[in-house]
Structure 1
């Protein structure tokens, strides 16, 4: 057997990559232009370090007074009505006070969304102006697509389509394109390299397309972007950050770059991505809701936030030097889920760059910014678990020194969004306890105050019904405002199938959302309780394609939800018919959790509604040209079979690919003396002992394959194995 130690030094794992100029691989990455990105302190901040705006920018005081003042007044009114409802029999009991407190917490959340939607509705009625298309650009922008074990057929199709669209504007030379890989699966990594090499060769010498794979995905997406900034950020004025499912028109990209260039005080400019290309039942409901209701809510948020806005991590342009100077994220003390690296980094980056004096704002009406959504309820729950941990982790950051009040509000809103579910659940539990107390607990005859009759904890049924109507009205108002805007907008109304189908679609969305809400409430509550118990979440790649989940998995994930619904329903009916009727919407959603979750991922159900013109969006009726182009390119890429190919077999069969892979390898990290890389040691032993490629493929585990792909000596040994 061969001994890898006898191989030439140039082939060993620690040999530096050889990138002679003029080879086919010399431009896999541009020359580095480092930009320091110091780690920021959350405990201290010197305002003297902040950027000084070049001109005065008015703050939206009136908008904030309307939104927050209105929300406070509504919450106060709702709380008073709730107090009157439970105090009809005299002074409320301790449990009734708890019920009032829980009601205030949940009601304040929907009241703020309501007043923000009112503001957004008023702004959209005026049809805000868009930033102009620039005639030229004096700055350079890097367009970044971070990927993590994604399918290359779709991601590289999106890159190719967007690049074509930007070049069609005549401003293409102002943009460079980077695919920044954090993939941890060997097949995904090699598929990315093959797709990159194919696309770059097709684009020719002026490709301006680069690819980098990190050896370790330290700090995940934030670390991926940070690695770009510290290595190449100095060469670019701006960076436009995408997600793996992002798609933006050329017009949208150049308008963003023009807006950033025209505003020297802007640090981040965020778009509102619309959801497209979704066909399962759940995804179509989400797509429709985002298109019809989303602009109302986002416009209100963007208007009252002003230049103290937020960042959602993608489809946004960022001033590179400002980001580098202000957004180096520290690790939080302690262990996950509340310690360690910052999980939901985008909110924190927005707060830090705003603290440093740069503006963060949104262009919610800028067209041409798109994304996709998870295809089923279970897929959303998996993603939501990670988001829940990231948002709750912000409780450790909300008090950081120097933050703007609006930034703290963004953190508070994110935290409240996940705390609302446990509060709602607790509110239901307390309500049940109060009914039990009325039904089974003996009245207190001898209270501190003399009375002729015993004291029962009773409710005012008329006032309770009025309060329920008020709550439902405030909860549904943003939906109706979005519907009204769509109805008065002729092109949107016709694209959604006409007024009748548009109204019917809204009713379908409301019904399905009402059934899903209690399931989501229990799932989110479980996530929050799990996080509070100290359980960390992983970072699994999202399932982006349409498709159902095996029914056995659905039953396993939702069986306890169904059991909870059945037990609650039987108990409520046994206690009181009125309690059962009060809880009926929640009970129904939980009892039907399994069929609802199954239906959510069904492509046939979504397409059946589509054929009837229901849950239609304008982008679905007349797909954006860039989406059509990206779809055609994805189909072409899919036919090449790169995502299904075995990495080791592909390298073994194509010496040119193996050479390209070797040249693109990141530099090896020095190994501390006395330490042993178990995965690399096992990979080396197995590859040395293997006599054929099939043996190596059979013996090597996933981590060992990654270790092999990082080692030039082992790759050389692999190439010499018999097929």
Structure 2
């Protein structure tokens, strides 16, 4: 066990409670909108929306009309009407991304030779850096925090940033490691910054509830909240610059950076980070360019004005049960919409590039994450009609919904297209339909127009990637650091091919997620794996079996109809039939390392690691070594120094009302009262009970009051022990 520290400061500062009322989605008046200090700071340029959205509308209208002409020779059949409607829905979805990417392309090129305008204004505000965590690796989390804290101090932010780890961890061992990591971080850098820690007893409303709890109890002590994720990294100068921009613009409610993906070790993670690095800038810059003051929030790597957030963005509890009712899971889009509704601007800082995060290491991990996001975004169907939400905020919400609904729509379009091809191939024309008609109605298609429309659709679909590639190659420094023109081009082709193979698998995964949500299944809350994508083949088969079967059915159906249809759908068929090996190979660290050695899918950050990442890795080695010797629950209960430290870091316990006893508390209390020693009590407690004991003062005190195995108190007469145990149980249950 590590040497016991001599003393410990409290986990959190004294509470300074304030209200964070839940907002009403159904009632909101113009009188509730704040008056801006500078009207231009909350006003967007309409001509930018006209160019991007108007352009998307024109392209969509022309394409839909062309599809109608393709299908409409001799009149539209009911099946052709269905194909037309599904095509319209899916095509409109991709055209906004296309026109936005065009705007982003020119925006990126326009500033390619310009440096970021860093402010040197003295900081006069206080910012709480919030790190919510839920059963995440404490070594990685605290190493990143320490690296960021050191850089913030170097960038001139000392005394203006407090570092707050707000934990929802439910694993008892992980929670003890977090406490030890707090002590280590305070020892390393506590003389320069304030480091606070709080672990909640109950994970109400998940991450949003975690942040809300902090806001209600301590938020009013700070001007800003800089919200991170467990895998977030931001350079110190970016964090300081964000605080300065908030300080300079009193009408700015939220400033969101565009995180870059780094540290991908598997093939699928490297694919994501290459795509994010090459295509991401034009997509993000395009979104920033046309949304302007009605930007969006992605839940992390963003700074928020605390007063605005607490007054305007308290989340309501949706009526009904999960998955559509209850606490709002995807809180970020809704919070941005509520801030804008109240008159605050929400902006995307697409010029601040030193903001990073990591990506899931396998298709399965992507599916687990997307299942939770899918439920949260579909929940927004009950939010999108909220009173007086800005129409651009509604578009952000609809975009989130469509990011998952588009998969079943594409699947329905493929099935409808197959049925239409089947109809063309085998159904005899009906020359004498019922009713009065001068001409017969039968299914026909204009092949030349169909081919032309296909080319246009592919151009719209892949246009953002091509524009992203051009803008990336235009940047000589980035091109060189990514391996040069040829390596970047090869990487682009590899990304296109592998992504095309994975796309039908993800389409089926998302379609299954949507179906399960519609059927009423809740996603739960699972921690995210960060670095290892290995999964046994038997589990991969279990996860992907229906994708493989679906691919085989699609292949057989296409072959029965015609070889042309089989060739047309072959990319989707190959991806689905090979789902199991694709999932294994793309989640393999070994294959990822081979691809990395070859210089494929390389990003500039790999040629020259960002300084913040280098500092994090240096700190990580120390934390991993120190946390190996984390004290056990027995050590904490039996060692006075460790016990006092633990009690100092423990969250304040809310007094319960008479008769309101939680089952897990009562069960743990009985087991402790039944035990004759600390060791025996811990052996009685299951994992959940140990986690609860560690976060309940009365239970910890009762556990610490027991003797160790070698204590002479164990030799007391049996009747005396029984009497003491009964009295102890009554006292303990009363104190809970």
Residue pair 2:149, 2:193 contacting (<8 A) in 1 also: no
**SS of structure 2 residue aligned to 1:142:** strand
For 1:138 and 1:641, the matched residues in 2 are separated by 37
1:659 corresponds to 2:652? no
Residue pair 2:66, 2:449 contacting (<8 A) in 1 also: yes
1:539 corresponds to 2:522? no
1:709 corresponds to 2:694? yes
Count, aligned residues = 699
Residue pair 2:177, 2:627 contacting (<8 A) in 1 also: no
Alignment of 1:197-346 (within 5 A): 197-346=183-332
For 2:612 and 2:287, the matched residues in 1 are separated by 28
For 1:555 and 1:587, the matched residues in 2 are separated by 17
Cα RMSD (Å) = 1.9
Q: CA deviation at 1:92?
A: 1.1
Residue pair 2:67, 2:453 contacting (<8 A) in 1 also: yes
Q: CA deviation at 1:694?
A: 5.2
Which residue, 52, 59, 63 being the options, matches 2:48? Answer: 63
Residue pair 2:159, 2:193 contacting (<8 A) in 1 also: no
Tell me which residue corresponds to 1:179.
165
Tell me which residue corresponds to 2:92.
108
Tell me which residue corresponds to 1:6.
none
Residue pair 1:121, 1:300 contacting (<8 A) in 2 also: yes
1:198–1:131 distance in 2 versus 1, CA, 3 Å:
same
Q: CA deviation at 1:450?
A: 5.8
Which residue, 528, 542, 564 being the options, matches 1:556? Answer: 542
TM-score, with structure 2 as normaliser: 0.92
Tell me which residue corresponds to 1:530.
516
Residue pair 2:87, 2:413 contacting (<8 A) in 1 also: yes
For 1:470 and 1:195, the matched residues in 2 are separated by 55
Which residue, 33, 46, 52 being the options, matches 2:29? Answer: 46
Residue pair 1:693, 1:722 contacting (<8 A) in 2 also: yes
Tell me which residue corresponds to 1:567.
553
Residue pair 2:133, 2:230 contacting (<8 A) in 1 also: yes
For 1:232 and 1:676, the matched residues in 2 are separated by 27
1:479–1:717 distance in 2 versus 1, CA, 3 Å:
same
Tell me which residue corresponds to 1:668.
653
Tell me which residue corresponds to 1:349.
335
1:93–1:650 distance in 2 versus 1, CA, 3 Å:
farther
Tell me which residue corresponds to 1:35.
18
Q: CA deviation at 1:675?
A: 4.1
Q: CA deviation at 1:243?
A: 0.6
Q: Which segment is superposed worse, 164-173 or 322-331?
A: 164-173
Which residue, 73, 77, 92 being the options, matches 2:62? Answer: 77
Which residue, 611, 616, 625 being the options, matches 2:602? Answer: 616
Q: CA deviation at 1:338?
A: 1.1
Q: CA deviation at 1:342?
A: 0.9
For 2:588 and 2:632, the matched residues in 1 are separated by 32
1:560–1:653 distance in 2 versus 1, CA, 3 Å:
farther
Q: Which segment is superposed worse, 343-352 or 123-132?
A: 123-132
**SS of structure 2 residue aligned to 1:103:** helix
Q: CA deviation at 1:445?
A: 2.5
Which residue, 102, 119, 139 being the options, matches 2:103? Answer: 119
1:506 corresponds to 2:506? no
Q: CA deviation at 1:395?
A: 1.0
Alignment of 1:436-455 (within 5 A): 436-447=422-433, 448=435, 455=441
1:145 corresponds to 2:131? yes
Unaligned runs of 5+ in 1: 1-22
1:135–1:27 distance in 2 versus 1, CA, 3 Å:
farther
Q: CA deviation at 1:674?
A: 3.3
**SS of structure 1 residue aligned to 2:67:** helix
Unaligned runs of 5+ in 2: 1-5, 711-736
For 2:437 and 2:208, the matched residues in 1 are separated by 65
Residue pair 2:242, 2:255 contacting (<8 A) in 1 also: yes
Q: CA deviation at 1:165?
A: 0.5
1:530-562 Cα offsets, whole Å, 9 max, x none, are 111111111111111234122221111001100
For 2:328 and 2:698, the matched residues in 1 are separated by 37
**SS of structure 2 residue aligned to 1:515:** helix
**SS of structure 2 residue aligned to 1:169:** helix
Tell me which residue corresponds to 1:681.
666
1:494-553 Cα offsets, whole Å, 9 max, x none, are 011000001111111111110010000000011111111111111111111234122221
Q: Which segment is superposed worse, 330-339 or 51-60?
A: 51-60
Alignment of 1:633-648 (within 5 A): 633-642=619-628, 647-648=632-633
TM-score, with structure 1 as normaliser: 0.93
